[in-house]
Amino acid sequence: MTANTIGQKRGTSCGWNKYENNPVLGGEHGTCFDLSVLKDNGVYKMYFSWRPKQSIALSESLDGINWSEPIIVLGPRETKKGWEDELNRPVVVRRNDEYHMWYTGQYKAGQPDGHSWIFYATSPDGIEWTRRSLEPVLTFEEPWEKVAVMCPHVIWDESSALWKMWYSGGEQYEPNAIGYATSKDGLQWNKLSTNPIFECDPNVAWEQHKVAGCQVVKIDGWYFMFYIGYYNEHYAQVGLARSKNGVDDWERHIHNPIIAPDEGAWDGDACYKPYAIFDGQRWVLWYNGRRGAPEQIGVAFHEGKDLGFSERLSANNR
């Protein structure tokens, strides 16, 4: 990994390698961004934000690289408050033969005077979706959440019989920090009183501005958080942290950022919204990148399960 400035790293670190023929989705489809992937009966299903359609789309793949023509699975809905003028930033979980989606509804997407909320839908097949509530299941209420909550990532925790959500809150163009909430039914959520649980470290240049857009994976007794770190409003990179309980005592990876823009490449200005799956042999991580205005989706790989955290170094890296 190289750097133009201290906070603008380039390339990858700690065993991560970008696919040489990135991007894997975008191009003729226009801006494709902020995604969620699940492996379902041997098929990768990517639910992603399709900006030209203001909708959430689905594409499928056998290898995580070559993707089918996208189809829209959930589109805008007219409301007096503009709650769902544009839909984006989904997370999809399959549980008990039902698909669950939490997603972001936006009024004036990407504009400072806009707002964002989180909604919930379910599906029997992952294609036909039914909204479980016509009102948001999570909205901005606390001072740190400012005018927007978005980017939900949700897992089902069998041991506590709870849905657990990590979400981003703050400004509308790019949110500022990450909060946490739990639910028994996916509809009624209880936010942690000590939110936000994860904020930028102003003493670490690459993420000095903001952190947002996380995915959390629970594996081997750890919660691993893949997240976006912002050097400034326009230059973003992907980092990694871990926690024993998914709430506090987050240990940042000593080699952060793990994925950063490559100068002059399709992702030369920013790397956003990671989503990683361990397939039994290696980690596969999709993210959206940008050079100029259009965003496209690429993929990176990490051989083996070990993500390179060191117990010996942890005390100095919190």
59 residue type, one letter: S
What's the pLDDT score for residue 315? 41
Does residue 240 sit within a domain?
yes
What is the domain count for the chain? 1
Does residue 316 sit within a domain?
no
Distance CA(242)–CA(253), nearest Å, equals 8
CA atoms within 13 Å, Cβ hemisphere of 84: 21
What's the pLDDT score for residue 180? 99
Q: Does position 316 have pLDDT exceeding 80, yes or no? A: no
Q: What is the mean pLDDT of residues 49-77?
A: 98
pLDDT tens string 140-152? 999 999 999 999 9
**Mean pLDDT over all residues of the chain?**
95
Q: What is the mean pLDDT of residues 283-297?
A: 96
**Banded pLDDT at 108 (limits 50, 70, 90):** very high
Q: What is the mean pLDDT of residues 162-189?
A: 98
- Count CB-CB contacts under 10 A for residue 245: 10
Does residue 312 sit within a domain?
no
Does residue 238 sit within a domain?
yes
Cβ neighbours of residue 219 closer than 8 Å, sequence gap 6 or more: 278, 305
Does residue 313 sit within a domain?
no
Does residue 317 sit within a domain?
no
pTM exceeds 0.85 for this model: yes
Q: Which domain holds residue 35?
A: 2-305
What's the pLDDT score for residue 110? 86
Does residue 296 sit within a domain?
yes
**Banded pLDDT at 42 (limits 50, 70, 90):** very high
Does residue 315 sit within a domain?
no
pLDDT tens string 206-216? 999 999 999 99
Which CATH number belongs to the domain containing residue 147 in this structure?
Answer: 2.115.10.20
